[in-house]
């Protein structure tokens, strides 16, 4: 059931999307409400399932990994087997993202890999178990991803761009086993308090805070965002897979700037695969989506070759550190 959000809810959600780790007192100061009211509303929104998680954007290229997405079309797959497939991918230590969708593909997931052999192992294990149910599979590797604050929630101007890069050439940062444990816990929930986090990783709360700040300065931790629950969140989520032609640096910059400035575009990916770009949009209606796509096609008809639109109806997993890989 889709939940109706008032302006106060939307302002709080916007602040959580800008930094889901910031204290309730800071959110309260920004939105003009008391700390108690903000805390109550966040609990109510969480209880209603408006967001499925508050997560940490980790630049896993800093951990020595790249991300590769698999887009799948099913065949001869019943509900029971689909649930088994989803459960398998959710439990995989190498899957960082998974979603069900309508359109050309039925499901997509992203897996991290240190190298192509690692990717082949992950995909090979999945294929041996579920390959008979896959009629089509396309692989797209992430060159660069960029997140944008959900400013459409409050109708304001977009602030400074937030960027997260998942490079094709991994550049590992200096991260020890304790850092990995912190990232693993923050991957599950960005809003975990330092005291609780300290108990899980076995060091003091002050030491946890210092390590998190160091990981932020090193660019390992990029941001703290929200993952909306599409079954309750009152906006439709579309992922558009865009094929380009005759692309110049000037036109690529223009397309990137268009995406950065549009309030309904929340994420873009520059990819290496069957398409060159992924654009994620969140809108109130299908008509609003069609209007945006018409505008996009009109502005970029010289470089737009083709596109496929997927409607995301459930995000099963969003975890940039699904397992501890220190020393592997």
**Domain co-membership, 119 together with 259:** yes
Say if residue 132 is in the same domain as residue 9.
no
Give residue for tokens 């960082």.
96
Locate 96 and state its tokens.
Answer: 């960082």
Is 54 contained in some domain?
A: no
User: Given this model, what pLDDT does residue 172 score?
Assistant: 75
User: Could you report the per-residue pLDDT of 196-209, keeping only the tens digit for each?
Assistant: 999 999 999 999 99
pLDDT one-digit tens code per residue, 51-92: 999 999 999 989 999 999 999 999 999 999 999 999 999 999
Is residue 183 included in any domain, yes or no?
A: no
pLDDT at 173: 84
pLDDT at position 226 is 95
74 in a structural domain: yes
Which strand (E) or helix (H) includes residue 316?
strand 304-318
Three-state secondary-structure class, residue 48 = coil
Give me the number of domains the chain comprises. Answer: 2
Whether residues 235 and 312 fall in one domain: yes
Give start and end residues of each alpha helix (H) in the chain. 7-18, 24-31, 35-47, 79-90, 116-130, 177-188, 194-201, 205-217, 249-261, 286-299
Residue 25 lies in a domain: yes
The CATH number of whichever domain residue 40 belongs to comes to 1.10.10.10
- Tell me, yes or no, whether 284 lies in a domain: yes
Domain of residue 241, CATH code: 3.30.70.3460
Q: Clarify whether residues 242 and 307 are in a common domain.
A: yes
- Specify the pLDDT at position 132: 97
Q: Which residues contact 271 (CB under 8 A, 6 or more apart)?
A: 69, 140, 141, 142, 143, 277, 278
Whether 144 and 242 map to the same domain: the answer is yes
Q: What residues make up the domain containing 3?
A: 1-48
Residues 3 and 137 in one domain: no
Three-class DSSP category at 81 = helix
Query: Do 143 and 18 share a structural domain?
Result: no
| Tokens standing for residue 35 | 């700390």
Residues 134 and 10 in one domain: no
Same domain for 307 and 243, yes or no, is yes
Write down the pLDDT at residue 325.
87
Q: With respect to residue 173, please indicate whether it lies within any of the assigned structural domains.
A: no
Do 234 and 314 fall within a single domain?
Answer: yes
Spans of the chain below 70 pLDDT: 1, 156-170, 327-328
C-alpha angle 16-159-297 in degrees, rounded to nearest 5: 105
Structure tokens at 248: 């110049």
Residues 144 and 235 in one domain: yes
Residue 23 lies in a domain: yes
Q: Number of H helices and number of E strands within the chain? A: 10, 11
User: 78 and 38, same structural domain?
Assistant: no
In a domain, 250, yes or no: yes
């Amino acid at each position: 059931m889709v939940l109706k959000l008032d302006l106060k809810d939307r302002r709080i959600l916007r602040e959580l999307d800008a930094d889901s780790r910031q204290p309730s007192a800071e959110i309260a100061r920004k939105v003009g409400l008391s700390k108690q009211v903000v805390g109550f509303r966040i609990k109510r929104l969480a209880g209603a399932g408006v967001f499925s998680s508050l997560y940490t954007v980790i630049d896993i290229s800093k951990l020595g990994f790249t991300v590769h997405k698999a887009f799948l079309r099913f065949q001869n797959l019943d509900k029971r087997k689909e649930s088994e497939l989803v459960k398998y991918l959710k439990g995989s230590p190498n899957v960082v993202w998974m979603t069900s969708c309508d359109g050309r593909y039925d499901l997509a997931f992203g897996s991290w890999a240190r190298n192509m052999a690692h990717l082949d192992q992950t995909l090979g294990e999945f294929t041996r178990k579920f390959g008979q149910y896959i009629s089509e599979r396309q692989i797209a590797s992430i060159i660069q991803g960029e997140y944008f604050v959900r400013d459409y929630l409050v109708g304001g101007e977009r602030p400074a761009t937030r960027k997260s890069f998942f490079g094709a050439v991994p550049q590992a940062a200096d991260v020890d086993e304790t850092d990995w444990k912190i990232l693993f816990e923050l991957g599950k929930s960005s809003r975990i308090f330092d005291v609780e986090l300290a108990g899980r990783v076995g060091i003091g709360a002050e030491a946890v805070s210092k390590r998190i700040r160091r990981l932020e300065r090193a660019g390992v931790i990029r941001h703290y965002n929200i993952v909306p629950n599409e079954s309750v969140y009152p906006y439709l989520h579309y992922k558009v897979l865009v094929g380009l032609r005759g692309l110049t640096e000037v036109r690529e910059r223009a397309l990137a700037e268009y995406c950065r400035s549009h309030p309904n575009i929340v994420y873009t990916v520059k990819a290496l695969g069957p398409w060159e770009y992924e654009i994620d949009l969140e809108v109130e209606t299908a008509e609003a989506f069609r209007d945006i796509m018409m505008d996009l096609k009109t502005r970029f008809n010289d470089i737009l070759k083709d596109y496929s639109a997927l409607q995301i109806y459930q995000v099963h997993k969003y975890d940039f550190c699904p397992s501890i890989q220190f020393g592997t």
